[in-house]
Structure 1
Amino acid sequence: MTASGPPPFPGAAPAPLAPAAPVPARGGSITPVFVRLKLAVIRNGLRQSRGRTAGWAVGVAFAMLYALGLGAGMIALRGSHYAPAATVTLAVVLGLGWAVMPLFFFGGDDTLDPTRLSMLPLRPRPLMTALLTSSLVGVGPLFTLLVSTGAMIAVAHGAAATAVAVPVVALLLLTCVALSRAVAAANTRLLTSRRGRDLALLSGLFVAVGAQLVNLGVSSLSSDGGLHRVTSIASVLRWIPPAPAVDAVRSTGRGAYGLAAVQLLYALAALAVILRWWYRSLVRLMVSPDASTLQAADVPTGGAARSGWPGRVAGLFPARLVGGRTGTVMERQFHYLWRDPRSRAALATGLAVGLLLPLVAVVQHGTVYQCLWAAGLLGMQMYNQFGTDGSAFWTVAATISTRRDAALELRGRALTLVGIAVPYVTVVTVGAALLLGRLDALAETLGLSFAFLGALTGTGTYASVRFPYAVPQQNAFGNAAPGQGGLVALNVFGGTLSGAVFCLPVLALSVLLHHTGHQGLSWTVLPVGVVYGTAVGAAALRFTAPRLLDRLPEILAVVGKG
């Protein structure tokens, strides 16, 4: 270290210090940096494994083929009376899809989390520009561009409409991308918390419900007057952003320039509101404290406050009505179903889809026998009972020393599922029978449902002991540890098939009554199904209990890999 001169005297003014390094000039754009960062994220993600690269390539190929097909379908509607209704509906669907996308892909796309940039000296407005530009890089924006281009061709008639259609495509794309970013920024605290991970686990439920809603929509369109109903609905949808921008092209083609101007201004105002919402969310994320920095005293404490009604039900119902080890196991399982995100998501999916499929039958005037789905989806929850325990299964294994202990452990787990499934299946079946006007088939359907539920409970008990597999605890979207996908398929398909086979005697009784003209005796299927399902489940528990005692080390070794 060298000195430039003698130290200053007391009271003397300090000598000016020369900067150690040149200060970079301000005003440089960070947008190219973010675009390169987005490309690097995509490239590095594909480098993780060849399987991931192949899956990404196949997914992109299917997405592009679907986009081209959808765009071609929109172009084929050019000149049709239903083209305007189809384009505004498509615009609303695209906006909705971009809005809910962060709920599914937030954890898998690091660029959606703006808090990762909170330590950098970035201002919100340049950050918004950079993020918005980088968001235009990817498969989603290309998909939206292709589909929206086809929609514009379908409704653009004349030079003026064509001139308006070009900026409308850009406006539609910007609105969708900005909406996705705004939703992600507004829900960052939630999506990075435990509740956000729980929400991510429910994505399968959203997909299943959405698929059934699409099925209902397609069926409605296929029926008489379906397209006329879409036209009437489109009169409302055309005022839901970003649809006004799309409808402005049609208005321009008709010569309604005043209406087109109003619709474009409305779409621009909606985009401005979205950008303002995004800006305020970014500012709040940059300056507000994280939940982890809050004082512990501000967080409500006490087990009673956190447990709520599930804890009270788990504490009162099993232990007091059943008693013994079985009641204790049921209490533990009820707590797991409420507190464990994966178990709760699986149960919620079974309950929702089990209700949705009979609802589809009611809407489409189907059959009451579709209520068997409710019993089947809940009965499948019995499979791989120990996989969700993970390495903590040793605490259960340490308490099992006799065949009776093993039998009570399995009985408690089975009764937990049956205690949820039986009243649920009953309510769903009774409701569907009332709505369909098939009270004559109510007893028969309930008997088949209970027999199927008992068969799946029995086969699921045996499969949990004989074919367990680990469930990854870190990966919220994985349902099995690497290398155990075959066991998952064996449990799902083999279990469903074996459950159906065990249910054949009750099904044969139902078919026999119908073919011999004794439909009046179909009510006998209910008591037979109840007794048969109970007998199959009890026999499976008795048969599996000694095998659980013998296989405790093997089960612990397998499920502990998660």
Structure 2
Amino acid sequence: MVARFVTLKLTLMGNTFRKSVWQTIGMVVAALYALGVVGALVTLVGALAYVGDPAWAGLAITLGGALTVVGWWIIPIFAFGVDATLDPHRFATYAIPRRTLLAGLAVAGLVSVPGIATVLVAIGTSFAWVLEPGVLVVALLGAVLGVATCVIGSRAITTLLAPVLESRRYREVVTIVAVMLVVMTGPLIGWLANDVEVSVEADPGSGSSMGMLLLPLFEQAAALVGWTPFGAAWSLAGTAHDGDWAGLAGHLAVALGTIGLAWLVWDRALARALERPPVGDGSGGKAKGLGAFGRVPFSPTWAVAARTATYWVRDPRYSGSIAIVPLLPVVMYVSAQSTGNFFMLLATGPFVAWILGFSISNDVGYDNTAFALHVAAGVDGRADRWGRAIPMLLVGPVVCVATVVVSVWIADSWHLTLPLLGLSLGLLLVGTAVSCAVSARLVYPVAKPGESPLKSPQGAATATIVSQGLGFLVTAGLSLPVLAMGVAALMLGGVLWGAATLVVCVLYGALILVLAVRFGARVYNRRLPELLQQVQSFP
């Protein structure tokens, strides 16, 4: 039965190569990237073992393995719905013993690009102890237990939290938290690196011994992590190399206990899910008027605008991208503090404007099957294009003005307010214009409604890069007059130059927007059936 599950998973993976060219390219790129990462990690650990001290390899395996387990356990909570293949609920009507089902799902969970990469890294790094056969056997045992900890723990957590993960409110909150963590990672790393650099400059002699200072920290961290469920299995080889047999027995007990407890939790959670599947209570939500539709004029253009505005408020795929905007001033401020250069902070306004303008470049793709309503209702291209742009034109300028005012206030550069406003509003209009034109021609797969905004459909990576790359080039080319005018005003200074920049950039952006909407409307009307077919074919 376990072999049958593996066969089913391999068949599902093989079928992804037959659906579309983009999925095939995406799978190949993901596989090549994973092989590159595996080769780099195995080479690094091997170099630590043969060139340096073998104990360093043990530290790297313990800490790296613990991070791998954390990733396997935590990422599914944020990226819910990443792997919906072999859903246990689909086997509820079959007379499969639960223990057999658990074993099959556990082994089949490794049949994926991340799973295969984890197995290859675990086995490859174990051969860092090839010169010590006894330690090598222990390392291979630790690799098996470590991989089992990853898979079984991940399945146990996602199955246990399934009722919560299916909550829409949970998905919205988790999306915003995940985006905030991703955005703030870079500034925090830069801040820590700056602190290290400052300490080295204060004591130049400490730079040469930085590695010797960090090694005890790594040793202490590895010693602590080795007694946790995350690193117990990965620390077995290092403990055997040190000859600490009591510690080896303790780490082995923690690893086996973790796997046993995770298996028990998974078994109980799966039994609950299969025997008492979650069902709706039928209450639903209570309608309170027409919402945005009751506040706009009665016309196709404003109907599309109301629907788009509703998406921005209620769809976590949109709200997740909006959550980045308030964090950008914080990110830029941290970067400015670490470098001592407030240029990045002053560039926040134009950067926010560019992000907002380009954020609607794949609106048709986000519609998914709901785009059929536009086709069935016969919505004209101009009404569709303007309807998608109006919410951005109403909210975007307010956000850009607020961002510029906050940035010049923090940097105490009020004399740059007008040029920065001109830059920001001009880039917002140009970006919105390009989005109105591009979204009628270049559509790529995105997460479906109700799925995790962090989920990337198979085959979408290459299409996204190509589409966004072309859109970025067009936006950059059309933004050159705005950038030239803004840079000139910033360099020359003066109120007149600032006011001229504001007026010229806004007028230029408005002209580009009108022309782009007309172009996008013609393309939309001509390609309407092809757009619907393309959107409905997305995986």
Same fold by TM-score, threshold 0.5 exceeded?
Answer: yes
Structure 1 residue 379 corresponds to structure 2 residue 350:
no
> How many angstroms apart in 2 are the aligned matches of 1:131 and 1:555?
44
**Equivalent pair of 1:462/1:540 in contact (CA under 8 Å):** no
Structure 1 residue 185 corresponds to structure 2 residue 173:
no
**Equivalent pair of 1:410/1:541 in contact (CA under 8 Å):** no
SS of alignment partner, residue 33 of structure 1: helix
1:474-526 Cα distance to aligned partner (Å, 9 max, x none) = 96756999x9989935861343223422413433424532xxxx5xx4x7776
**Equivalent pair of 1:67/1:143 in contact (CA under 8 Å):** yes
Read off the aligned partner of 1:450 and give its amino acid letter.
Answer: L
Cα 1:136–1:505 shift into 2, 3 Å = closer
**In the alignment, what sits opposite 1:391?**
372
Structure 1 residue 250 corresponds to structure 2 residue 229:
no
SS of alignment partner, residue 247 of structure 2: helix
**Equivalent pair of 2:426/2:482 in contact (CA under 8 Å):** yes
Larger relative contact order (Cα-Cα within 8 Å, sequence gap ≥ 6): 2
**In the alignment, what sits opposite 1:455?**
430
Cα displacement (A) at 1:167: 1.4
Cα 1:144–1:364 shift into 2, 3 Å = farther
2:71 counterpart (94, 97, 100): 97
1:512 counterpart (491, 500, 510): 491
Cα displacement (A) at 1:118: 0.8
**In the alignment, what sits opposite 2:452?**
none
**Equivalent pair of 2:400/2:424 in contact (CA under 8 Å):** yes
> How many angstroms apart in 1 are the aligned matches of 2:263 and 2:118?
19
Read off the aligned partner of 2:119 and give its amino acid letter.
Answer: L
**In the alignment, what sits opposite 1:134?**
108
Cα displacement (A) at 1:423: 4.3
1:417 counterpart (369, 389, 392): 392
**In the alignment, what sits opposite 1:560?**
532
Cα displacement (A) at 1:304: 3.4
Cα displacement (A) at 1:420: 3.5
Cα 1:304–1:85 shift into 2, 3 Å = farther
Read off the aligned partner of 1:127 and give its amino acid letter.
Answer: L
Cα displacement (A) at 1:447: 4.3
> How many angstroms apart in 1 are the aligned matches of 2:241 and 2:420?
57
> How many angstroms apart in 2 are the aligned matches of 1:411 and 1:48?
34
**Equivalent pair of 2:438/2:520 in contact (CA under 8 Å):** no
**Equivalent pair of 1:460/1:495 in contact (CA under 8 Å):** no
**In the alignment, what sits opposite 1:118?**
92
Cα 1:504–1:355 shift into 2, 3 Å = closer
Read off the aligned partner of 1:536 and give its amino acid letter.
Answer: Y
Taking the TM superposition and a 5 Å limit, the aligned residue runs for 1:470-481 are none
Cα 1:416–1:529 shift into 2, 3 Å = farther
**Equivalent pair of 2:138/2:237 in contact (CA under 8 Å):** yes
How many residues get paired?
Answer: 498
Q: Which moved more, 1:543-552 or 1:370-379?
A: 543-552
Q: Which moved more, 1:152-161 or 1:268-277?
A: 152-161
Cα 1:177–1:256 shift into 2, 3 Å = same
**In the alignment, what sits opposite 1:368?**
345
Cα displacement (A) at 1:336: 2.6
Cα 1:282–1:157 shift into 2, 3 Å = same
Cα 1:143–1:359 shift into 2, 3 Å = farther
SS of alignment partner, residue 232 of structure 2: helix
Cα displacement (A) at 1:136: 4.0
Cα 1:364–1:272 shift into 2, 3 Å = farther
Q: Which has the larger radius of gyration?
A: 1
Cα displacement (A) at 1:283: 0.4
SS of alignment partner, residue 304 of structure 1: coil
Q: CA RMSD of the aligned region, Å? A: 4.8
**In the alignment, what sits opposite 2:248?**
260
Taking the TM superposition and a 5 Å limit, the aligned residue runs for 1:14-53 are 30-46=1-17, 48=19, 52=23
2:31 counterpart (36, 39, 60): 60
SS of alignment partner, residue 75 of structure 1: helix
Structure 1 residue 285 corresponds to structure 2 residue 273:
yes
> How many angstroms apart in 1 are the aligned matches of 2:393 and 2:380?
24
**In the alignment, what sits opposite 2:453?**
none
Cα 1:219–1:480 shift into 2, 3 Å = same
Read off the aligned partner of 1:368 and give its amino acid letter.
Answer: L
Taking the TM superposition and a 5 Å limit, the aligned residue runs for 1:279-358 are 279-291=267-279, 294-296=280-282, 299-304=283-288, 314=292, 330-340=305-315, 343-344=318-319, 347-348=321-322, 351=325, 358=332
TM-score (norm 1): 0.70
**In the alignment, what sits opposite 1:17?**
none
> How many angstroms apart in 1 are the aligned matches of 2:144 and 2:463?
46
